[in-house]
A = this chain, B = another copy of it.
């Protein structure tokens, strides 16, 4: 299926970008804009990714989250492999229009390729939880129950994590 492109506005002034209704997203030198995705009901942060202009257009046109995968260098319809698509309940943009916020409902309830509900399944201790003379901080798992088995869902597909 082909969709009509979205015509983004040029960026002419700070007032226009911050205070007007002009849709003037700022793509960086790689052609990408940061995307932050939260669960529309719980407010939980599910993932942080990137969109190129095509992914942003497809997200707007279809109401389903599309990203650009930096590790695989391809347009990425989230859930196309796993079935865990993200229905966009609300799409927002920040003051200087260099970040997109997606409030989504996730089919199947998981958003993370490791198998957890959210990509953020580990806490970093902070403030008084860390002794002032301790240099070593260990992460703490928040959610040790995986929602799905990645091997079952993704099979032999390469892991997107880059060291």
A contact set with B: CB distance below 8 Å:
3-7, 11-14, 17-23, 26, 34, 36, 38-39, 42-45, 47-48, 59-63, 88, 90-96, 99-101, 112-114, 116, 119-128, 130, 132-142, 159-163
Contact = CB atoms under 8 A, between A and B. Distances in A.
Closest CB pairs A-B (n = 6): A43-B43, A63-B127, A96-B161, A94-B119, A92-B120, A7-B135
B7 A161 contact: no
A140 B92 CA distance: 9
A38 B45 contact: yes
B95 A161 contact: yes
Copies of this protein in the assembly total 2
Contacts of A20: 139
